[in-house]
Structure 1
Amino acid sequence: MPLSRRGLLTIGAGLAATVAAGTSRASAAAGRFDLAAPATQLIWKKALYDETVLQSFAFDNPKGHIYAVQLKNGAASAAAGDLCLTRLSLSGAVLGHMYLKGFGHGVQIGVESPGVLWTETDAAPDSSGAMWGRRLARFSFADGRTLTPSSSGVTTYTPIPGATNTTCAIDPSTGRLTMRYLLDGRMRYAVYELSALKAGGKDKLYDVAQPSGLGVFQGYASYGDHLYLLDGTAYSASNPAPGNTYITCVDLRTGAQMQRSLTQAGKSLDYREPEGMAIQIVSGAPRLCLGLASGAAGARKASIFYKSALV
């Protein structure tokens, strides 16, 4: 039967919508961030629920929330791998908290919107006594609740049996989870489709080695086919301003290092220790965010800066 002009327009619109739905994530993840571009302040010296140093953070982009994780107050809590998880507004106001007992160190976390967290869990000590997760955990945020690895509502995943130091980040533009893990003495990054991983799948999209030559590791994020690594230490007599905080870009398809750049974001902060990375999406555009801890011991504050220029 011949098609009318209205019919052709209807079919064309339907095809366009189908193509857009299938390619929106891929197009959103095109390019890589220019690490030499200047950084912009998002939040400045905000208190978290506990008073310890920020360890990492992630965004619930549709809800407009930031989730930040830190070691729970008290030396005994740190020794046990107990974490404090704070929910913040985009302006840095505290909106709630949870405690995660025996989960690990909090080097990196991920958010699956709305309000579902991915962290390390099942902490065990290394040779120095530091606590690190051995599996991944998925759970919903519940203000005021305390969780253990065996709590109801906590689902655990072991994508790579025998791996330790397992942490994760989620790329909101692609729906992929990147897991950092230690196996046979080597630190690596494995990338999974989040939906497949939740269903029990263990097939990797990528698996690359952490590049050599990094300083003290402090966090990571992935955007599209690129991985971003944060390293550096707090200001000290041997590390004066502007400090030694670097961001490194790695191509997840090849493992090749694409760029490494010193960042002076927040250089006026006192203490200024780099802590955590995340991808924020604002009006469809991505931002590569990094966290910085500041303030005196017992009264630490958190700041977040971002880079948005793509190359």
Structure 2
Amino acid sequence: MNHIPGFPLSRRGLIRTGVGGTLAALGLGLGAQPASADVTPTQRFDLTQPSYDLFRSKNTHGPRVQQSFAFDWVNKFLFVATKRDGSPDSAGDLCINKMDFDGNFLSYMHLDGFGHGVAFAALPSGSGTELWIECAANTKGYGTALAPIRYTPNTTMGSPAAAAAYTPIAGATEYTCSVDPVHRRMIVRYHTSAGKRIAVYPLSAFETRSFGSPLVDFKQPAIPGTPQGYTLYGSYMYYLTGDPYPGDGTPSGDGNSYLTSIDINTGTVKQGPVLTKAGSTLHFREPEGLAIYRTDAGEARLFIGFATGLEGDRRSSIFYKNALV
């Protein structure tokens, strides 16, 4: 896969949204009701079109696999969540790696007892970054609430209790989220006794900590494969599934990493699952995470992450698609 020239991910301002307004004190969110409004239809990414490299095989703070990643689109940094070395998955201990857009490691933050790290958001906050991430991990290692965490380099933070965090969906037992910085919305994937559901909020709901009813709320459609990440662009959700190469991780065939788009106004699959061959020659190659970014030149991109490399020395590899229809 080749990098497309002419659309640099520069450090100059791209979408100067920031985090505005006075923020309410930390507390419980309001219970969300069924969707009461549609989202204006937008273009979507054509998942059959080629993928291109952002970077391959970059080091993170620890040796374990990445789980997801998120862009601070104003301050121009990338944050990669990895599993913590020496910690069982059930503990919910994460390492957040701060990187530049070339994949160079800059710093880390340890989050103890937060969750699995399937998806999170990195919101610009002045010259810093506020991570919206699952917290208060249950016995399976999945977060039971959402919390805004100021990224603080080279520190360790324990998770707040669920009662001291945000639970915007009444009756939900697990939460993750991902941001659409272009259309300024946050997508929340949550678990109920009836299975997984999806809610979409204006980004302002998270900036002001005042949630109310979501724009849309629907049951996640059945999609085959191991869930490995999701994100939102406009009126479409994107969903990633797949597994690492079997055996010792030697590249074999095309793998089973698939992308699917979902119309959030109907809750139905629009395209896919579509096989992605991005980084197909990389060792191990486990799909891990999706995120949206728009370049300074105005090109929207759907980024796809993979954990790659040898056991005990896993690396981060990230690619993107840019064809809209």
Fold in common (TM above 0.5): yes
- Structure 2 Cα separation of the partners of residues 230 and 208 of structure 1: 18
Aligned CA RMSD, in angstroms, stands at: 2.0
Look up the match of 1:41.
53
Look up the match of 1:267.
280
CA contact (8 A) 1:132 1:164 kept: no
- Structure 2 Cα separation of the partners of residues 165 and 240 of structure 1: 35
**Shift, 1:64, TM fit:** 1.5
What code does the residue aligned with 2:81 have? V
**Shift, 1:239, TM fit:** 9.4
Look up the match of 2:254.
242
Look up the match of 2:138.
124
2:299 to 276, 282, 285: 285
- Structure 2 Cα separation of the partners of residues 297 and 164 of structure 1: 33
1:73-106 residue CA offsets vs partner (Å, 9 max, x unmatched): 1144x33111000000000111111011000110
CA contact (8 A) 1:218 1:232 kept: yes
**Shift, 1:123, TM fit:** 0.4
1:256 to 252, 268, 285: 268
2:92 to 81, 92, 95: 81
1:56 to 54, 68, 82: 68
- Structure 2 Cα separation of the partners of residues 168 and 156 of structure 1: 14
**Shift, 1:202, TM fit:** 2.5
What code does the residue aligned with 1:139 have? I
Q: 1:235 to 1:149 in 2, by over 3 A?
A: same
- Structure 2 Cα separation of the partners of residues 147 and 162 of structure 1: 27
CA contact (8 A) 1:250 1:258 kept: yes
What code does the residue aligned with 2:275 have? L
Map 1:51-200 → 2, pairs under 5 A: 51-76=63-88, 78-114=89-125, 115-125=129-139, 130-150=140-160, 156-197=165-206, 198-200=208-210
SS at match of 1:50: coil
What code does the residue aligned with 1:163 have? A
- Structure 1 Cα separation of the partners of residues 101 and 87 of structure 2: 30
CA contact (8 A) 2:76 2:100 kept: yes
Look up the match of 1:31.
43
**Shift, 1:39, TM fit:** 0.1
2:322 to 305, 308, 311: 308
SS at match of 1:215: coil
What code does the residue aligned with 2:324 have? L
Look up the match of 2:27.
none
SS at match of 1:122: strand
CA contact (8 A) 1:55 1:107 kept: yes
Q: Which of structures 1 and 2 has the larger relative contact order (alpha carbons within 8 angstroms, sep 6+)?
A: 2
1:33-82 residue CA offsets vs partner (Å, 9 max, x unmatched): 00000000001100111111000001111211100001111144x33111
1:132-173 residue CA offsets vs partner (Å, 9 max, x unmatched): 00100111111012111239xxx7211013312310001101
Give 5+ residue unaligned stretches, structure 1.
Answer: 1-28
CA contact (8 A) 1:72 1:82 kept: yes
- Structure 1 Cα separation of the partners of residues 310 and 178 of structure 2: 28
1:277-307 residue CA offsets vs partner (Å, 9 max, x unmatched): 0001102221000101111221100100000
What code does the residue aligned with 1:31 have? Q
What code does the residue aligned with 1:150 have? P
What TM-score, normalized to structure 1? 0.85
SS at match of 1:196: helix
Larger Rg: 1
CA contact (8 A) 1:111 1:117 kept: yes
- Structure 1 Cα separation of the partners of residues 231 and 223 of structure 2: 18
**Shift, 1:113, TM fit:** 1.2
**Shift, 1:209, TM fit:** 1.8
Number of aligned residue pairs: give it.
277
SS at match of 1:157: coil
SS at match of 2:310: coil
**Shift, 1:208, TM fit:** 1.9
Q: Among the aligned pairs, what percent are the same residue?
A: 40
Richer in helix (by share): 1
Q: 1:239 to 1:304 in 2, by over 3 A?
A: closer
